[in-house]
Structure 1
């Protein structure tokens, strides 16, 4: 990255810092001037190239500026206009004025047909957990808050070297301080895009414009940018690019149960680092920064890149090298597919109507085609010509035929095993050049190791040091690629420990779930014919993806640590006895005590509903297993349960305790599992009604009535036979209290028997009762009865 490119990115990221200064008091200057004076006088920036980007990013100031024709301010001016056009679309309110104290509106207000007016609490990103949930009340910013933001930015910017090594550090500071600050406070525009998202997107566009001009050998930005701005908007300056890792499920779950819990977490984390490393390496080759990254998570990513021939060549070459690396290290187990589409700024704000969705479809189509035709003749010849010293042994962990050590474990599995402790207890992960002992391989001749904080500076002075990632900690400094938000909550070291600590039956529970229709939501979630699709823009897609990534990577830790829902209605005083295997951009895989898994699944569903204002839903599968059950089978079966939930009309469902039967839901062609329910049905009717009726009545039985329930379950399974209905009624009648028993006991029986006899007449109630009985038996089961 050239010095000029670095200055351009920094100038673009800081171009609107004057809004913080302007909003903190009675500042009558324009925010461009406020920002210029602040950066020059208080922060001490002396680079005219950076300062001009701040001072002259508006047309009125730029038209009067005495600057060179190749000044970077021209690029930031256009990039700011493009970014503003994709986030500040006029609202229905025609009374246009500025409201300095306006809080950030929620982007979920207009998602998937929603029509709400919710706001975020004023503040900075990590001040309070309540800020993450939008609320109806509009609480304005106070002037002292902007003073605190300014002070924090100042503390982090003073004394910095303004070079490429500190760009990511600057992004960290701006994310921490500006994520809940609205970009625009105009009452005539929606204020649902943060100032952080706006300046980040501006920097991405500016970098692309710079490279587009460089390829055309045009450096007179005043003529080609300033004087012909409308024509620039129609130029194909940009590329939407996506990468997708195939083979994730097999890579994670193709292991034995030995040390499975830690190994699963380590494998998942390794793939996450792998994706981040691939992103950073490609951006580096393209002379871009992480400002160009729109989204990453769950083995996927999206970026805004220059629409140049050179950029396309670099991307294609990089993908080819990734394929070769995957073949060398993992044969056909892992594959990285990439796709891209060239576009202009009009497309990024959905002009003409429908062009934005078509852009994503083109990218998705290219990825699908490359997955289908992933290997060429030369790749197959390479695989067939490979020779190793020993093909006779199978790794006892991953079952791959490879060279193994004395204990029968291949080198990759051994390194992942050693990484597993670090995933739990270390916060820094270094990328080093070359091979290193116990280090996991990464593309491009790099390796991954975990390290303690006190050793980081020592490594930075070594020639093999490349970059460092911080896990769930925000640090600023040289060559810090980024902090990685990671779902790291864990309780229990092994499946056996989790099973042994379970209430009732000694089993583990697993949850696999993901957001319903997320791909469609990214592409068309902001479409609305009533407003002519004016909010279908790249800025809102970027904001939405960032918020969802934060929910599943960061906020999920808090949800597990602070339980709310319980099956018995009693408050749980400790965190969930569960472990996050992975939690990506939109999906989760959790393992824990079986009852905790059921309860936290409902917590997760409820919190996502609150977080997204009921615009997005979750579907999943919950399985209950013996601790020794093969993890691959667990993953597959839980995945099948998740698929069953997805087949329910409207999705938003959970599948649990399947009984081998199928049934038909209204509006559904075909059959689904008898254990599939809408979340609200499962929470309110299966547990909230039937489970609690059973629990409240049978707790008076010394043996908890398990033998009685087994018999009841047998009759319910065959309730369509009339003789079994009679037997069911007879079974309930046998519980009737004797005459001498208390009035209270008799009343409890009447209520219980009425519920049972009413429920047995309904197929849906019977199905729910069957699940409730199984849950109750599990809670009260002793040993292996």
Structure 2
């Protein structure tokens, strides 16, 4: 809460150094005099009065942590220290000062400050009786408030970093300094910090081993639950402020070096206890000085990634031990690794001419029960097709290591990179979910977080949804980062792994040299070979995707008969000159309206008409008997 007074300070048009007084007043009303004094005294710059400068070890630690979180740009503080910044206060994008993420006038600043004060009112007694639980409550209130859309500084040098991320990082560094031995002076070289990381092993292999959508949901949820347990452990062991990221089987956290072994062991045990050991997690860490952390956090992040890859490579040398199944014993239809013990009478597996209920092992049966609720049958729309959308931000590792900031002439300070990480995660977790909800009548997001999305939608909505997702990501990233998406379209009666495997293949094709594009394919059956699937893949830029969707919309209203359109398509595949002559001939014979004919000729020039016509026919409403 050390900078919470900035809201009221800016609203009252006071100079920056006055924010400590407003912080004192805010914290005193909520948590009492002693903590208010701690929060107030976190600056040692010459333009702050003596009563605002650190007077004991706790306040000195807070002052140092505050400077470390702000990074090297704290040295370049502008005229804001001696004059009030103009309203509205602007939060710009970390990638562009020209992109305004939020503006706050006097009313918005005051309302946010008062709303937070009201939610924290009377919490002093709880804090004295149950400080840990009360701290978690305060942290949660701040995390869910609008502070992530308020800048940490009003000056243009630092107004791209959110106040929430600055407050959180300051608390994290203060925790690490305190637990590592306390105050050692203002020289950052005298302090060491550890960056912990964890990444679940072979998630795709585990999750893709799904026959039905409930299997997939349950397996994905198991990874989410295991990651949440890691978050809970680190929250209790270190504090929630130390967790940089924890989602989708991965985590990143700050830690005092002396607690590294205990923290990593606890995180690993927490994850694998939930996954019942069926999914393991690799953990690693790097240790850096406070000065290294302050000067180039992106470099530290990059080293953390390198260390994780090294630890992962060691695990690849250890062969995976599978459960032995006695010869002659039939295995589970889902995992194909353990003996089946239970039949699911609700789902019939069509094997040759002898359909039978699906057979599940105990583990897969329990997972299906947990995941039941939405089936592919519930998601199909006017057609009998559904689509698996898998989306992933491009080169996000490179982005978070600060490479892009180097290109933009910005410093890779801790709070800037955490602000970016938070923005990416919020975009995927909230914005993407909202987009999928528009196109699906049931909850169909399997996972959304980090920079990943896995979801199912009606087949006819898949390309529209993927386009909106890609555009939203570009918008949220100020057009400095792109997203790739693989869209596997398949009949709802096919097993879910058919769509998953195809979506994974599409993503691999995109990452080979087609980043920032949308790839789609239609899967006809589970018996489709990889070469057949490869031939059906179409890779489109967003502009080409938009054209394809426009062609489909045109075909829905076009007055030309289906037979005429088929004839145009067949001629177009052989001779571009003849097809134009054919269209003009049909216009002349009044078989194709003049306006439709002109539009047809324009669309034929794009080279996308044939594929769009195929999709149009695929998604035309059809009865169950024709499926």
Aligned residues of 2:10 and 2:106 also touching (Cα < 8 A):
no
Q: Matches of 1:280 and 1:659 in 2, distance apart?
A: 41
Question: 1:483 is matched with which residue?
Answer: none
Mapped pair 1:58 → 2:43? yes
| Residue equivalent to 2:3 | 16
- Structure-1 separation of matches of 2:269 and 2:25: 47
Which of the pair is proportionally richer in helix?
2
- Aligned counterpart for 2:67 among listed residues 81, 88, 91: 81
Structure 1 residues 658 and 140 mapped into 2: Cα distance closer, same or farther (>3 Å)? farther
Rounded to whole Å, the distance in 1 between the matches of 2:39 and 2:225 is 35
**1:418 corresponds to:** 369
CA contact (8 A) 2:193 2:287 kept: yes
Report the 3-state secondary structure (helix = DSSP H, G, I; strand = E; otherwise coil) of the residue aligned with 2:102: coil
Out of 262, 275, 284, which is 2:227 matched to?
275
1:346 aligns with 2:291: yes
Partner of 2:517: 653
Does 2:504 correspond to 1:554?
A: no
Q: Which residue of 2 aligns with 1:676?
A: 539
Tell me, which stretches of 5 or more residues in structure 1 are unaligned? 1-13, 123-138, 214-218, 425-492, 564-574, 661-670, 760-764
Whether the aligned pair in 1 keeps the contact of 2:378 and 2:442 (CA below 8 Å) is no
Contact map agreement 1:390 1:402 (CA 8 A) in 2? no
Which residue among 141, 147, 153 is the counterpart of 1:184?
153
- String of CA shifts for 1:728-782, please: whole Å, max 9, x gaps: 45754663453xx59xx652365256436x62xxxxx32x122211122224364
Partner residue of 1:397 out of 324, 334, 337: 334
One of 367, 370, 375 as aligned partner of 1:494: 375
Using the TM superposition, give the Cα deviation of residue 181 of structure 1 relative to its aligned residue in structure 2, in angstroms: 2.3
Alignment pair present for 1:299 and 2:249: yes
1:373 aligns with 2:314: yes
Contact 1:23 / 1:146 at 8 angstroms: preserved in 2? no
Structure 1 partner of 2:217: 265
| Mapped contact 1:576–1:600 kept (Cα < 8 A) | no
CA contact (8 A) 1:22 1:31 kept: yes
Measure how far apart 1:118 and its partner are: 1.7
Residue of structure 1 equivalent to 2:132: 164
The aligned runs of 1:769-780 (5 Å cut-off) are 769-780=609-620
- Displacement, 1:158? 5.3
Residues 629, 300 of structure 1: alpha-carbon distance in 2 compared, 3 angstrom cutoff: same
Aligned to 2:276: 329
Is 1:700 the counterpart of 2:565? The answer is: no
Residue by residue over 1:62-107, the C-alpha shift from the partner in whole angstroms, topping out at 9 and shown as x without a partner, is: 96689985x4222112111211226757489999743274434233
Contact (CA 8 Å) 2:400, 2:417: kept in 1 or not? yes
1:579 and 2:567 are equivalent in the alignment: no
Whole-angstrom CA distance in 2 between matches of 1:518 and 1:45: 43
Tell me how far 1:16 sits from its aligned partner: 2.2
For residues 387 and 620 of structure 1, do their structure 2 counterparts lie closer, same or farther at Cα, with a shift above 3 Å needed? closer
C-alpha contact (below 8 Å) 2:97/2:156 kept by paired residues? no
Summarize the Cα distance change of 1:615–1:305 in structure 2 as closer, same or farther, 3 Å threshold: same
* Aligned twin of 1:595: 460
Deviations 1:714-741 (A, max 9, x none): 4444x3xxxx457645754663453xx5
Pick the aligned partner of 1:196 from 164, 172, 182: 164
1:71-470 to structure 2, matched below 5 A, reads 71-85=57-71, 88=74, 90=76, 97-99=83-85, 101-108=87-94, 111=95, 114=96, 116-122=98-104, 142=108, 144-155=110-121, 157=123, 159-162=125-128, 163-175=131-143, 176-185=145-154, 187=155, 189-213=157-181, 221=183, 224-225=184-185, 229=186, 231=187, 233-257=188-212, 260=213, 262-284=214-236, 287-306=237-256, 308=257, 310-315=258-263, 317-318=265-266, 321=269, 329-331=276-278, 334-350=279-295, 356-374=297-315, 392=329, 394-401=331-338, 404-405=341-342, 408-420=359-371
Aligned partners of 2:537, 2:54: CA distance in 1, in Å? 72
For 2:387 and 2:493, locate their aligned partners in 1 and report how far apart those are by CA, in whole Å: 12
Cα distance in 2 for residues equivalent to 1:578 and 1:322: 28
Q: Is the 8 A contact 1:104 1:191 kept in 2?
A: yes
Structure 1 residues 548 and 89, CA gap change in structure 2 (3 angstroms): farther
Separation in 1 of the partners of 2:502 and 2:75? 46
RMSD: 3.7
Are 1:510 and 1:623, in contact at CA under 8 Å, matched by a contact in 2? yes
Conserved 8 A contact 1:292-1:304: yes
Q: Secondary structure at the match of 2:100?
A: coil
**TM-score under structure 2 length normalisation:** 0.83
**1:117-164: per-residue Cα shift (whole Å, max 9, x none)?**
424143xxxxxxxxxxxxxxxx66555424533433433735433511
Once the two structures are TM-superposed, the CA of residue 115 in structure 1 deviates from its matched residue by 5.4
Contact 2:392 2:452 in 1 (8 A): yes
Q: Distance in 2 between matches of 1:754 and 1:212?
A: 72
**Structure 2: gaps of 5 or more residues:** 345-358, 525-533
Aligned partners of 1:179, 1:34: CA distance in 2, in Å? Answer: 20
**Paired residues of 1:590 and 1:597 also in contact (CA < 8 A):** no
Conserved 8 A contact 1:104-1:180: no
Cα displacement (A) at 1:400: 2.9
Contact (CA 8 Å) 1:645, 1:677: kept in 2 or not? Answer: no
Relative to 1, partners in 2 of residues 1:639 and 1:358: Cα closer, same or farther, differing over 3 Å?
Answer: same
Q: Do the aligned partners of residues 678 and 752 (structure 1) sit closer, same or farther apart at CA in structure 2, a change above 3 Å counting? A: closer
| Residues 266-291 of structure 1, C-alpha deviations (whole Å, 9 max, x = no match) | 3222211211211332453xx41010
- 2:347 counterpart residue number: none
Shift of the alpha carbon at 1:336? 0.7
201 and 316 in structure 1: CA distance in 2 versus 1, 3 angstrom threshold:
closer
Structure 1 equivalent of residue 356 of structure 2: none
TM-score of the pair, normalised by structure 1: 0.68
Distance 1:79 1:391 in 2: 64
- 2:23 paired residue among 29, 32, 35: 35
Which residue in 2 is equivalent to 1:635?
500
- Give the secondary-structure state (helix, strand or coil) at the position aligned to 2:84: coil
